[in-house]
Amino acid sequence: MSVPAIVFTDWDGTVTLQDSNDYLTENLGFGRSRRLEINDEILNGKKSFKDGFSEMLKSIPTPFPECIDYLLKHVDLDPGFKEFYSWCVTKNIPVVVISSGMAPIIKALLGKLVGTDVVENIKIISNSVKIDDVTGAWEIVYKDSDTGFGHDKSKSIREYLAKKGFSADHMPPVFYCGDGVSDVSAAKETKLLFAKEGRDLIIHCKRENIPYTTFSDFSEIFAKVKSIVEDKKPISDYILN
């Protein structure tokens, strides 16, 4: 497989402006105050991402189909994503969603916000959901339940690259775009990490001395990736630490 680059991206709060799981928790679950407490516990290493995330989702009593309908009314797309994705298609650059969220929600939002055809063209690697046919109760099914993240994004990236035939000696520029703690494991698998301004991922990158560059929306990612792919600008020019 010969491609000029590969773009892996988080979904919630990265491709979308709102984090769908946070939004559900704050509006249909136990609210913003407790969610922020859990977020701090995760960021400070007192609680694993998976445990905190599970606690958030368990606080939501709303049936899963209604959760999706609610999100379709309230979640918006990053204003620069469509143009960036269209350019990637013309350049034969795969865009792969690597998410700690749930596939049915991602597919529903992607279909509405970008287009139903795109759902078939973008690879989505995420957790799934189990719904009880009788009671309607639902719970997240983690892709990597034996890890503290629930979904080991670094593992998913390695598996994707290996499946496509890439190796250390034959690897195009690999980018990852994210905003939160769940994206940390993906950083070491990519050539350039895009961390969203004002979000937790930057805090962690600074603390752990993880190389990154910033973005506020996908128009900035577009400009940087385009300059690297088309103008052959060195990736090192963008790394902040």
Residues taking part in catalysis: 10, 12
69, two tokens: 């309908």
The helix (H) or strand (E) run that includes residue 102 is strand 95-102
> Given its phi and psi angles, is residue 166 left (phi above 0), alpha (psi -120 to 50 degrees) or beta?
beta
- Residue 130 corresponds to which tokens in the numbers above? 């189990």
What number of helices (H) and strands (E) belong to the chain? 10, 7
**H or E segment to which residue 111 belongs:** helix 103-113
Q: How far lies 129's CA from each of 25, 102, 105, 139, 184, in Å?
A: 16, 6, 10, 6, 23
Could you give the CA distance from residue 28 to residue 210 in angstroms, rounded to a whole number? 35
SS3 content of the chain, % helix, strand, coil (to 5): 45, 15, 35
Pair of tokens at residue 181:
């703690």
C-alpha to C-alpha distances, 148 to 48, 181, 182, nearest whole angstrom: 5, 11, 10
Of 149, 164, 157, residue with least CA distance to 97: 157
